[in-house]
Amino acid sequence: MSTILTLVVLLIYSISESIAITCASDERACNAQCYKPSQQICINGVVCRQGQRLCNGRCYTPPQEICINGIVCLRSQQLCNCQCYTPRPEICIDGVVCRRGQRLCNCKCYTPLQDTCINGVVCRRGQRLCNGQCYTPLQQICISGVVCAIGQRLCDGRCYTPGQQTCPST
């Protein structure tokens, strides 16, 4: 009799939530889903484990995690432009997460000991920029915005090797 009464109460509660579901006698309804109150909790229509809290519709565990501006991060982390990061090995630069010691170049992280930022493009140290493309001056040359191998020439926007190839337009 008590099982039937419990089911009737749950059905009435579920209908009042405008969603009709039938749950077992040891369960409760939560937004069209059954849950066990001995192990779970219903928070604003979301089923979480006991002891958890809700952060922007997502369950999180307070001892290990925190809710920062609606985003769940580990307790040891901080928020950088909606992304969690760990402050010791990482740093937030203008809303971008980089490793410590790195710099920012047009929203991309780079390591100054290995790379350089040229007009917003990350190139390897010693390289130069040719029409937005990095090239190595000891091996390549920039001709009218096109990167060619040293010794090559440009013909109709393409590199060619004189003596081995000819330029069709000459």
Instruction: Note the pLDDT tens digit of each residue in 106-154.
Output: 999 999 999 999 999 999 999 999 999 999 999 999 999 999 999 999 9
Residue 42 binned pLDDT confidence (cut-offs 50, 70, 90): very high
Rounded to an integer, the average pLDDT of 70-99 is: 96
CA-nearest of 90, 54, 88 to 72 is 54
Check: CB of residue 49 under 8 Å from CB of residue 40. Answer: yes
The per-residue pLDDT for 169 is 67
Q: Is the pTM of this model over 0.85?
A: no
Q: How many CB atoms lie within 10 A of CB 39?
A: 9
